[in-house]
Amino acid sequence: MFNQHFGQYLLNEKKITSEQLVEVMEYERSARIKLGVLAINAGFMTAEQVENVHHLQRVKDKRFGELAVEQGYITYAQLEDLLENQHCRHLGLSQVIVDKGYLSLAQLEEVLASYKGDTQQTGEEIDRMDFDEAARKLLDFSSEGAQGEVYQDYIALLQRNIVRFLDVAPLIGKNENVGAINNQWLIYQRIAGEINLFTGLAMNDEALLEIARKYSGEELTEIDALAKDSVAEFLNMVNGIFCVNASNQGMELDLQLQKVVQDQMPALEKGYRIPIALTLGKIDVIVAVGE
């Protein structure tokens, strides 16, 4: 969860692009976390000191930790502490971002410091966060009252099901006004009853095909009825669970037919668009009052 949360932070702060983020998320699980990134994260060394040790490694056949101690940047106890933490996965994303050259060590040092200042939470604490908390922290529907709570619950449920069925690491961005649909497919479904909710997934051709393939397990090669129905069925399944959850709280809801349109946005009273970056492509989740 730390990697997802930190990735979202980088995206929101425009430190990296969504394309770069999707790319690094593919590699973060296999990344070997190096002592330099660990030392910066722990506050034991500055980016400049890490760069200096890297420079020394070009002229001396010595390990990073050994040189860092020799230079007086860290103590042996701190080195042991870093080595013990080398297996922790929560810095995988930071390591890949540096390895790919999307941020320099100095930029990483700066952004990690501002991130920690903004969130007031450690990586370990964020690792324990669930999607409900993550959505609640990032999304702002405060002007919507009770409907805002519905949106929060819906986005958290959708994220959980994306993890279950599509992609292990969805990265959610901040909500914005819904706007227009250009060069995109929109798969949508209304939920009606005590709660009226419009739900939609907007995406381009590539993302639709990738998501359809992943969810259906079918060998799809073009955007045909089967591909469109596959994404529509994913949305229908999520919405079905939403209705069951509502029913458990005493609210009876019904689903209307799913629809798939291109470059069209149904008239909505007020809606929001929430970007989610997946390794399968970028999607925008649309939520609005359903009537």
Q: Which amino acid is at 66?
A: E
Does residue 279 touch other proteins according to CB under 8 A?
no
Does residue 149 touch other proteins according to CB under 8 A?
no
Does residue 236 touch other proteins according to CB under 8 A?
yes
Does residue 205 touch other proteins according to CB under 8 A?
no
Retrieve residue 264's tokens: 């069209």
Stretch in the footprint of other proteins (CB under 8 A) among 34-42, 54-62, 66-74, 226-234: 226-234
- CA–CA gap between residue 145 and residue 17 (Å, rounded): 32
Where do we find the tokens 């996965």? 89
Does residue 196 touch other proteins according to CB under 8 A?
no
* Nearest CA-CA partner of 116 in 20, 14, 188, 43: 43
Smallest distance from other proteins to CB 220, Å: 10
Does residue 219 touch other proteins according to CB under 8 A?
no
CB 232 within 8 A of CB 258: yes
Does residue 232 touch other proteins according to CB under 8 A?
yes
Of residues 28 and 167, the one with the C-beta less far from other proteins:
167
- CA–CA gap between residue 230 and residue 226 (Å, rounded): 6
Smallest distance from other proteins to CB 225, Å: 5
Where do we find the tokens 């805002």? 148
Does residue 216 touch other proteins according to CB under 8 A?
yes
Does residue 239 touch other proteins according to CB under 8 A?
yes
Q: Quick one: the chain helix, strand, coil %, rounded to 5?
A: 55, 15, 30
CB 237 within 8 A of CB 215: no
Site of interaction with other proteins (CB under 8 A)? 216, 218, 225-226, 229-230, 232-233, 236-237, 239-241, 243-244, 247-248, 252-257
